[in-house]
Amino acid sequence: MLQPFIHYGIHFLGPLMVALWYYKPQWKYAYLIMICGMFIDLDHLLATPIFSPGRCSINFHPLHSYWAIVLYILLLFPKKTRLLALGLVIHIIADTVDCSLM
């Protein structure tokens, strides 16, 4: 019952906390860019069925693969890609927590 609250809490509150803590003067911009990390869920459209409540996204969908996760971590280092990478990594953390709660 708590699983969706934890999952979506990390998805939306995680980037908000990072934006408010590290990007205070431009927190709205930072939050918006990090929330764009949600677009990696478009790869769910490639699966059949599109939604399966018992399925773990990690290493099932292409943008949630281990190779993609390594890329997201590497994108944390250049300053130009850091905000988007933070959003992607937080997204992966949320999905990992979700998988561990299944």
How far is residue 24's CA from residue 72's CA, in Å, rounded to a whole number?
23
How far CA 68 is from CA of 5, 19, 87, in Å, comes to 26, 23, 13
Residue listed under structure tokens 């709660």: 101
Residue-number span of the structural domain to which 8 is assigned: 3-101
pLDDT higher than 80, residue 1:
no
* pLDDT for residue 3: 85
For the stretch 35-93, pLDDT in tens is 999 999 999 999 999 888 889 999 999 999 999 999 999 999 999 999 999 999 999 99
Q: Buried b / exposed e across 36-57, counting CB within 10 Å, b at 16+? A: ebbebeebbeeeeeeeeeeeeb
The winner for highest mean pLDDT among 4-8, 13-17, 52-56 is: 13-17
Hey, what are 92's tokens?
Answer: 């992966």
How far CA 34 is from CA of 1, 5, 56, in Å, comes to 27, 19, 22
- Model's pTM, two decimal places? 0.93
Domain count, the chain: 1
How far is residue 95's CA from residue 98's CA, in Å, rounded to a whole number?
5
**Contact yes or no for 17/97 (Cβ under 8 A):** no
